[in-house]
Structure formats: C-alpha cells, structure tokens
Amino acid sequence: MLTSKQRAYLRSLGHDLDPVFQVGKAGLTSEIVAELDDVLEARELIKVAVLQNCLDDPKTIADEAARRLRADVVQKIGRKFLLYRAASDEPAIELPS
C-alpha cells in the first residue's frame, strides 16, 4: 500500500505523462493486461485512458487492472488513471518514506 505522501509524489511524476494505452469497447482483455504488464515492468508508472466507446466504468477498469497486475492505482480522474508498480529488478522510481 502507498502512503499519501508517496501517492502525491507519484501524481506529480505522472502529471505530464501521456496515456500509453487506451481501453476501447472490448474492455480490459487479457492481451491488454499482458501488454500493460510489460510496460509497467519497464516504466513503473503509466497513464491509461478509457475511451468513450468502452461500456465499462473507468473506475472499475482501473481497479481490475491494478488487481490483475498486482499494481497500485495512484489516481483516477475522469476516464484516465495512473498505475504504479516497482520494477522487479532495479526500481527507477525511489518513493519517499
């Protein structure tokens, strides 16, 4: 679990990020989860957008993605959310304690 200080730090890092993935009408498929997993391992902090044609609730998609990826949802705003998971080898983002 992230502390509020760590969340604030990650939000500041994620503010200028562009979404690296878009979830469309198919929803959160296993292919998207596999690709998100690869990108999370490389970048640790990613922004995901949920398109208007997706019938699922963006907050539900964020929570489900975090659960399936063993990641933390840093922030949910509208149809976008930030995910964080430390890299297994050498984490690039050093969180404040």
Q: What is the pLDDT of residue 89?
A: 85
Per-residue pLDDT tens digits of the chain, which is 97 residues long: 899 999 999 999 999 999 999 999 988 999 999 999 999 999 999 999 999 999 899 999 999 999 999 999 999 999 999 999 998 888 889 998 8
Rounded to whole angstroms, how far apart are CA atoms 34 and 32? 5
pLDDT at position 22, please? 93
Domain edges within the chain: 4-84
> Tell me, what's the pLDDT at 59?
94
Going by CATH, does the domain composed of 4-84 fall within 3.30.110.60? yes
What pLDDT score does 91 carry?
87
Taking the mean position of all CA atoms in its chain, how far away is CA 9? Answer: 15
- pTM recorded for the entire structure: 0.91
